[in-house]
Amino acid sequence: MADEIFSYEPATGARLWSGRVGDPAAEIADARRDWPKWAAQPLTARAEIIRRFANRVKQDSETIADLIARESGKPMWEARNEVENVVAKIDIAVKSYADRTSQRLVEGAHQARNALRHKPHGVMAVIGPFSPSMQVPVGHIIPALLAGNAVIFKPSEKASAVGELLVRTLHDSGVPTGILRGVFGGPEQGKALATHPGVDGVLFTGSARTGIMLNRYLVDRPDKMLVLEMGGNNPIVVWDTHDIHTAAIIVAQSAFTTAGQRCTSARRLIVRDTLYDRLMGEIKTLAGRLIVGEPHSNPAPFMGPVIDNETADAMVESFVILMTNGGKVIRHMTRPIDGRPFLTPGIIDVTAMQERPDIELLGPLLQVVKVATFEEAIAEANASRYGLCASLIGGTAAQYDQFWANVRAGVVNWNRGTIGAALAAPFGGVGLSGNHRPTSFYAADYCAFPVASAETDQLRASIGIGLRPMAEDADASPMPLAMAR
């Protein structure tokens, strides 16, 4: 039926969830009606409800992790990590709101006060990705609710089951049903939600293409808050290091965790020519040892499938295009299970390619570029319209300072991979990776706006210049010129 939507387990192909396609306009109307009551509550009351949500997630952690694993295909160990991060984000969100939006009072002239407070925007639309299907939406929803906004949440159509569970858990924790609404559907519902005049802000995580479309849709609505958290063509640079084995582990983790489907996954490995043979030998061997399997397999897999067969087909096609346009295969990407979207890690040297595609290939595919100088490495890292994250493995402190100062990215790491950004730090990118609205610890900045006030308990005013003397009649007409003489 056209009014139904389904979600499937990528590892098995089984139908996991079904529901009705949502009506964004109806949900927005409900939220606008109930929002003033929520905004009028004390912050402490809203924070208490949010903390109850954290406790409920802890209690149901295994059930939640199981659903995340089944719907995304990621291994259970990784789904459990996601649930732990959801819980951790709650305390961080409360601390962040207090830190970023604290009330300030400063004594002014004549016993006046200059006050700074923050107000919520109103009704916020949160449009989430399929991975991480709970952690990322929580990073928008919780700060928005804390600030006093109502939220309309549209999960990815490929993560509807987890999206419904998230909405239900928040309601069970005490968030009023009119304040948090769920809308299920595809791009049509997302567009209707984002462009509705009753929505005061759009908090989006997903592809650069969709983010650019949202930016165009809202070009004549400068009053509407727009937060774009998009993907990356992320570089990881390996320079002088004696520990080639550990460097290879960091690269493999960055490129292949979550089957390469994180926005922070390393897409491009830039390596010094003198390290190339040893490093690529280690990475190739390690990639061949990675277990690819179903979420609940025993032994536990390192990575599961990509989200669907369409994605798997596109990744294999991309590998072939790179190979036929000058790429040198280091490790072939294969489909180990017919009819299912499992992929083995693919590695290809694209140094000799005349034109390298600057796109986000959302899967376990690592492109390798060999360079001779550190300046070449930085230039290669910046050879992208994206700018989410970048990592330097090895090198000296002075080289890291040079890397940090010159590389274009919102997250810059040294001797750490590109994935696993700190929850208590701002997170966001530049270029096609974001619009300078970092999330995580800085999420409060786009969930409430500052209001400056000058205040005093008594009326005080005077006009000290530009008045006629009291003896003159300010209402009298000017004398005729003849009389004035």
List active site positions. 229, 263
Letter string b/e over residues 105-116, b meaning 16 or more CB atoms within 10 A of that residue's CB: eeeeeeeeeeee
C-alpha gyration radius of the chain? 27
**Rounded Cα distance, 32 and 41, in Å:** 16
Listed in sequence order, the residues at least 6 apart from 46 whose beta carbon sits closer than 8 Å to its beta carbon are 38, 145, 146, 148
Six-digit token string for 143: 């700060």
Residue with tokens 């730090």: 425
Task: Provide the β-strand partners of residue 430.
Answer: 387
**Rounded Cα distance, 170 and 142, in Å:** 10
Q: Where are the alpha helices (DSSP H) in 11-134?
A: 24-40, 43-59, 61-72, 76-100
Q: Residue 97 CB: number of other CB atoms within 10 A?
A: 23
**Rounded Cα distance, 49 and 193, in Å:** 26
**Rounded Cα distance, 392 and 371, in Å:** 14
User: From residue 67, how far is each of 8, 79, 82, 210, 268 by CA, in Å?
Assistant: 11, 9, 12, 26, 32
For residue 135, the one-letter residue type is: Q
Asked if 49 and 274 touch (Cβ cutoff 8 Å), the reply is no
**Rounded Cα distance, 485 and 480, in Å:** 9
Cis check for the bond before 299: say yes or no (omega within 30 of 0): yes
**Rounded Cα distance, 160 and 17, in Å:** 7
Asked if 449 and 118 touch (Cβ cutoff 8 Å), the reply is yes
**Rounded Cα distance, 8 and 16, in Å:** 5
